[in-house]
Amino acid sequence: MPNGTWILGDLFTKDYGHRGSIQKLWEQRWKFPCTKGVYPFHDGKLEDFEPVFQHLIENNINDPYDDAYTNAFLPTAQRLAKEAEEMEKEDREKAKDLYLNANAVFRLARFPYIGTELKKTVFEEQKNVYLQGSRLWDIPIEEVVIPHKHASNGDGDKIPLYIRKPKGKGPFPTILLITGLDGHRPDNTERTTEHLARGWANVILDIPGTTVDCPANKRDPLSPDRLFTSILEWIKNTDYLDEKKVIAWGLSAGGYYAIRLAHTHCSQLLASVGHGAGTHHYIGQEWLEQIDKHEYPFGLETAYTLKYGYESFEEMKDKCQDEFSLVSGKGEGVAVVAQGMKSCRLLLVNGVLDGCMPIEDSMLLAEYGSPKEMRFIRDRAHMGYPEANGVVYPWLESIMGAI
């Protein structure tokens, strides 16, 4: 896209000012969301986070991939987990809250990308604490590890999933929740609870290149197709899930896979939601050269380079769009959108001022294949919060209820 024509306008080259400064990030962008318990502080409390950030500020720790950053959170996370375990005998409700508080702090410790050995260890600890806490819920989370029957070209042979389903035998309408770059399976309590209230089951997976849990070969643009073939076959053969009522919902970087899935497996889905999704421009050189300035807390260069398996960010800028774009990808079977493949019903939702995944990436899909449904939130950034979920849930209900 020629420079100067982005819908972001002047915001495209504007430096938001927090990059490289934990103090600015905390004081200007994160402290208020923390008080509200919203991204990325779901289920966290200001009283748990503020001392950690003061420590980071006082010690001039600004690199999230430095072990000093990760270690700053661990005493608080581990203390909360221990308090939760001890509280189980006295007050289950307080114990549940403490486990969720611990989960939130573990998440920030491994944020923004699980790109160090310490963060990998922390993620394992987070998952253990999350599942331990969920045992106290009326309807807990269950981890199910299924075979990757269609694995090839370097894929792993097992797919770990989180399952949360209503009580009873089913079969239940199912939301296939596809996580993002920094949000993973233990980070979706609120969504799964909303789905349960509507009588829907949840199947949650991590996307290629973000955790060791996803077996898909991150360097193979076609590995997601094999991954979802194995998952959808498992859903079909699982009695308590209704194979005829499956809707995919991809979050942020996961939206890319929800869009791809809507095309490659359209006959196996009722619908799909690409929420805050990238498709083409987000991995183009012009866009990538500015992402260190936008609203994302720590920039995306390191995370993207590691996610897609490149040796450097320069290599990623040079190759990624050709290899992974759903519109212009040069590998056989990559550009599923531009090839005119039919899609199932597909809803695209985002903020118009998204500086992570350009709104143009959603708009572009209107030029190809099946008609798409779109709702863009004016004056909102990545994901279109807080209004976005108020768009998605009625849309999901209208489809599930129409069957």
CA atoms within 13 A on the CB side of 62: 10
Side chain identity at 67, as an amino acid letter? D
Which residues are paired to 145 by β-bridges?
A: 160
3-class secondary structure per residue, the chain? CCCCCCCCHHHHCCCCCCCCCHHHHHHHHHHHHHHHCCCCCCCCCHHHHHHHHHHHHHCCCCCCCCHHHHHHHHHHHHHHHHHHHHHCCCCHHHHHHHHHHHHHHHHHHHCCCCCCHHHHHHHHHHHHHHHHHHCCCCCCCEEEEEECCCCCCCCCCEEEEEEECCCCCCCEEEEEEECCCCCCHHHCHHHHHHHHHCCCEEEEECCCCCCCCCCCCCCCCCHHHHHHHHHHHHHHCCCCEEEEEEEEEEECHHHHHHHHHHHHCHHHCCEEEEECCCCCHHHCHHHHCCCCCCCCCCCCHHHHHHHHCCCCHHHHHHHHHHHHCCCCCCCCCCCCCCCCCCCCEEEEEEECCCCCCCHHHHHHHHHCCCCCEEEEECCCCHHHCCCCHHHHHHHHHHHHCCC
Copy the structure tokens of residue 345: 């019903």
Tell how far CA 230 is from the center of its chain: 20
Nearest to 8 by CA among 326, 333, 290: 290
Asked if 252 is an active-site residue, the reply is: yes
Q: Is 267 exposed, middle or buried (0-12, 13-18, 19+ CB in 10 A)?
A: exposed
* Whole-number pLDDT of residue 402: 61
Copy the structure tokens of residue 51: 């001392």
* Whole-number pLDDT of residue 4: 55
Q: Which of 134, 230, 252, 343 is catalytic?
A: 252
Longest dimension (CA), the chain: 63
Q: Which residues contact 354 (CB under 8 A, 6 or more apart)?
A: 276, 380, 381, 382, 383, 384
Strands 241-251 vs 172-178: parallel, antiparallel or unpaired = parallel
Q: Which of 182, 354, 361, 362 is catalytic?
A: 354
How many angstroms separate the Cα of 124 from the Cα of each of 188, 267, 380?
16, 35, 33
Q: If you search the block for the tokens 């708009």, which residue do you land on?
A: 363
Instruction: Express each pLDDT in 203-250 by its tens digit.
Output: 999 999 999 999 999 999 999 999 999 999 999 999 999 999 999 999
Each residue's pLDDT, cut to its tens digit, for the chain (403 residues) gives 544 589 999 999 999 999 899 999 999 999 999 999 899 999 999 999 999 999 999 999 999 999 999 999 999 999 999 999 999 999 999 999 999 999 999 999 999 999 999 999 999 999 999 999 999 999 999 999 999 999 999 999 999 999 999 999 989 999 999 999 999 999 999 999 999 999 999 999 999 999 999 999 999 999 999 999 999 999 999 999 999 999 999 999 999 999 999 999 999 999 999 999 999 999 999 999 999 999 999 989 999 999 999 999 999 999 999 999 999 999 888 999 988 789 999 999 999 999 999 999 999 999 999 999 999 999 999 999 999 999 999 999 999 986 5
Instruction: Express each pLDDT in 364-394 by its tens digit.
Output: 999 999 999 999 999 999 999 999 999 999 9
d(CA 310, CA 297): 22
d(CA 121, CA 98): 21
Bond preceding residue 171 cis, omega within 30 of 0: yes
If one counts every other C-beta atom within 10 angstroms of the C-beta of residue 157, the result is 10
* Whole-number pLDDT of residue 1: 52
* Whole-number pLDDT of residue 2: 46
Nearest to 343 by CA among 327, 363, 328, 365: 365
Domains and CATH numbers, the chain: 17-137 (no CATH), 142-403 (3.40.50.1820)
